[in-house]
Amino acid sequence: MRPRRARRLRRRVRRQHHDRKPHPYRDLAAPGGRPSQLTEEEADTALARPRLTTGREDFADRDLVIEAVAERKEVKTSAFATLDKAVRRPAAILASNTSSIPLMRLGTATNRPAHVIGFHAYHRSK
Active site members: 120
CA-angle at 121, arms to 116 and 123, nearest 5°: 175
> β-strands 51-53, 9-11: how paired?
parallel
CB distance 101 to 74 below 8 Å: no
User: What is the spatial distance between Cα 29 and Cα 47, in angstroms, rounded to a whole number?
Assistant: 8
